């Protein structure tokens, strides 16, 4: 029967340690080209929306293929919103900017003035719903997504805009 001596035990530990270190150093030399979560995120096109309803629509359509962000928070006043310096920086980084149109975002043209991003006015092709009474009677209601038929046109316009970014 074989007996372990102190010298053989120490020798076995040394061999095991050297083997572990060799394996670890070789693992560090592999050509691992799989993207990290951060690099994957950085490669996603940035889609910027003017408010959260559009963000929700676009995010549901885009899935994980795009980073969809709204410059406004839920419940924010959209009509007279004043974009922040951070919003303007985001607009410069954006690949696509989705806006409602119909005069809802009165500030929109100033907001995108320095952005090279593609823009999609989601109300293009809708049948406007006119406001029936009050100060704005007879004008197009800018909340056109509330009509199911117009909502479908918004979705179609989002799909067209996203398709240019993510052709597959």
Q: Is residue 113 part of a domain?
A: yes
Q: Is residue 1 part of a domain?
A: no
CATH number at residue 89: 3.40.50.1980
- Read off the pLDDT of residues 39-57 as tens digits, 9 standing for 90 and up: 555 589 999 999 999 999 9
CB 67 within 8 A of CB 55: no
Distance separating alpha carbons of residues 57 and 130, to the nearest angstrom: 23
Count of domains for the chain:
1
Q: Give the number of C-alpha atoms closer than 13 A to the C-alpha of residue 122, restricted to the C-beta side.
A: 32
Q: Reduced to 3 states, what is the DSSP secondary structure of residue 127?
A: coil
Q: Is residue 136 part of a domain?
A: yes
Lowest mean pLDDT: which of 15-29, 60-74, 125-139?
A: 15-29
Q: Is residue 24 part of a domain?
A: no
Share of the chain above pLDDT 90, in %: 68
Q: Is residue 95 part of a domain?
A: yes
Pairing of strands 67-70, 118-121: unpaired
The pLDDT mean for the chain works out to 83
Q: Is residue 17 part of a domain?
A: no
Determine the pLDDT at residue 166.
73
pLDDT band at 28 (very low <50, low <70, confident <90, very high): very low
DSSP state, 68? E
Pairing of strands 118-121, 96-99: parallel
Domain of residue 146, residue span = 37-165
What's the whole-model pTM score?
0.73
Q: Is residue 128 part of a domain?
A: yes
- Read off the pLDDT of residues 10-22 as tens digits, 9 standing for 90 and up: 555 545 444 444 4
């Amino acid at each position: 029967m074989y007996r372990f001596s102190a010298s053989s035990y120490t020798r076995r530990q040394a061999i095991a340690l050297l083997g572990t270190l060799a394996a670890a150093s070789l693992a560090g030399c592999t050509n691992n080209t799989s993207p990290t979560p951060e690099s994957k995120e950085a490669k996603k096109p940035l889609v910027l929306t003017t408010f959260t309803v559009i963000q929700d629509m676009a995010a549901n359509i885009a899935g994980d293929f795009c980073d969809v962000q709204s410059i406004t928070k839920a419940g924010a006043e959209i009509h007279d919103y004043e974009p922040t310096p951070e919003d303007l920086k985001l607009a410069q980084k954006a690949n696509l900017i989705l806006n409602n149109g119909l005069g809802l975002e009165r500030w929109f043209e100033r907001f995108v003035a320095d952005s090279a991003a593609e823009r999609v006015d989601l109300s293009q092709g809708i049948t406007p719903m006119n406001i029936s009474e009050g100060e704005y009677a007879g004008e197009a209601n800018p909340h056109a997504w509330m009509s199911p038929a117009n909502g479908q046109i918004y979705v179609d316009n989002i799909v067209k805009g996203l398709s240019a970014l993510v052709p597959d």
